[in-house]
Amino acid sequence: MRFTKWLYWLTLLLVGFWGTPIWAQNLGAYYLNKGNLYLRRGDIQDALKYFRTSVEINPYNAVARDNLGRVYAEKNMFDKAIQEFNKALQLQPNFAQAYSNLSYVFLQKRMYVQSTAYAQQALAIDPNLGAAYYNIGLDDLKQGNPRAAIPELQQALRLLPSNAKVNAVLAKAYALSNHPGQSFAYYYQSARMNPLSAYTREKLGNIYLKRGEYHKAMAQFKATAFLSPNNIPVRYKIAALYKRVRNWKAAQRQYLDILNIDPKQAYATKQVAKIYERQGSIGKALTYYMRYLKLEPQDKVTQAHVNQLRRPFVTHEELLKQKKFQARLNAAAKKKRLLALNPSVTPTGGLVPSVPHVNVTPTTTPSAKHHPAPPHVIGGTSAPVSLIPVGTPSQANTGPIPTPIPAIP
């Protein structure tokens, strides 16, 4: 690594004094090839690094400057890309690819007149440059003239038969020209060439959906969601297809995925609430209905529906309050029953000290007829009085408190 850096700086020094020697040209070509390798892999950042190094070592290489401009265009650095393409044309005036790349940059900047002019210059130098035909067709398509775009794109496809992107754009031109059959054929061909294109998969899914081929549409939409997980419109379509076959749980998962991507999706929030309500989970349904009403407070119909749902429904907190209140009522009633059965127990749970009674023998005096015997006297004979308090642990009071038996006159 240190040797490579030393050689790099030495090369720049020699190029500055004596121009580009052969070995410097070879070293620049080495970095150019490495940059092309990373560009084909889709590694734009590493490709940019190697193209820059190649241009610094050999600033007179038009191809290296053209490739550096392509990387700048991929990174949407259009002004730097235009500078590099112009430098490439200064080094090689008949460089058709540089003109075509300039056409593409102006197309991205929506400067369609300049884009078409540079594409025509490229075709004047090289009539078999398919990229230039593609740029002209795309210019016409973006300006709202799909019928004029079709012949240009067909010419581009003739020169680039294995290009999935050209097939997809030609399919779009046919779709805008009201030729659904040709549109489907080119979208299908594009998907076969590039199965990892989420755009093409979604377009095929839309065509199958219009045809009523729901299973095929579902397969394409699922592939699109896998390739582009944050595609919210596709997830809505998948959820709608699940609802069509009454697969409510699968539809709900799609709506929840949408809310994970964007929590402010009001329609998805309402659909989750409806599915929970259908499943009988009123509490969860009310939670999502309230979230929906925060996003759409003007929806009076949903507000009335929520109020109707809340009437028979008790929240968890309210249920706990009711249970605690009922427990207090039960405790109070138990104390009342205890006091009615045993007056020696105070309302606070304490004990009234027992007073020992004296054995009394019933007499035949008239007053005895009108005065019943005390509770501890049964049948005129005294029953033994327990001196153990009621609240102490003993065998006598472990069971229920006995009911007093009235005396026999």
Q: What digits encode the pLDDT tens for the residues 58-98?
A: 888 889 899 999 999 999 999 999 999 999 999 999 999 99
Burial of 384 from C-beta contacts in 10 A (0-12 / 13-18 / 19+): exposed
Q: Structure tokens of 141?
A: 């398509």
Ordered by start, the domain boundaries in the chain are 263-318
Which pairs from 168-176 meet CB under 8 Å and 24+ separation? 168/197, 168/199, 168/200, 168/203, 169/134, 169/137, 169/138, 169/141, 170/137, 171/203, 172/141, 172/146, 172/203, 173/137, 173/141, 173/146, 173/147, 173/149, 174/146, 174/150, 175/203, 176/141, 176/146
Report the C-alpha gap between 96 and 78 in whole angstroms: 19
What is the chain's mean pLDDT, rounded?
81
- Residue 159 CB contacts under 8 Å (≥ 6 apart), including other chains: 128, 129, 130, 133
Q: Structure tokens of 384?
A: 């033994």
Report the C-alpha gap between 136 and 138 in whole angstroms: 5
Which pairs from 146-155 meet CB under 8 Å and 24+ separation? 146/172, 146/173, 146/174, 146/176, 146/177, 147/173, 147/177, 149/173, 150/174, 150/177, 155/130
Report the C-alpha gap between 63 and 286 in whole angstroms: 64
pLDDT the model gives residue 44: 87
Cβ atoms within 10 A of the Cβ of 295, count? 14
Q: Find the helix or strand (DSSP H, E) in which 382 lies.
A: strand 381-382
pLDDT the model gives residue 3: 43
Report the C-alpha gap between 36 and 29 in whole angstroms: 10
Report the C-alpha gap between 64 and 35 in whole angstroms: 9
pLDDT the model gives residue 344: 62
Report the range of poorest mean pLDDT among 160-164, 219-223, 273-277, 391-395: 391-395
Q: What angle, 0 to 180 degrees and rounded to 10, lies between the N-to-C axes of helices 96-108 and 112-125? A: 170
User: In sequence order, what DSSP letters do the residues of 129-195 get, joined into one string?
Assistant: -HHHHHHHHHHHHHTT-HHHHHHHHHHHHHH-TT-HHHHHHHHHHHHHTT-HHHHHHHHHHHHHH-T
**DSSP designation for 127:** T
Query: What average pLDDT does range 288-310 have in this prediction?
Result: 92
Cβ atoms within 10 A of the Cβ of 378, count? 15
pTM score of the predicted model = 0.66
Query: What average pLDDT does range 392-396 have in this prediction?
Result: 43
Residues of the chain with pLDDT > 90: what percent? 57
Whether the per-residue pLDDT at 16 is higher than 80: the answer is no
pLDDT the model gives residue 398: 46
Q: Which of 19-23, 110-114, 324-328 has the highest mean pLDDT?
A: 110-114
Q: Structure tokens of 113?
A: 């007149």
pLDDT the model gives residue 112: 92
Report the C-alpha gap between 282 and 135 in whole angstroms: 57
Whether 56 and 86 have beta carbons less than 8 Å apart is answered as no
pLDDT the model gives residue 337: 83
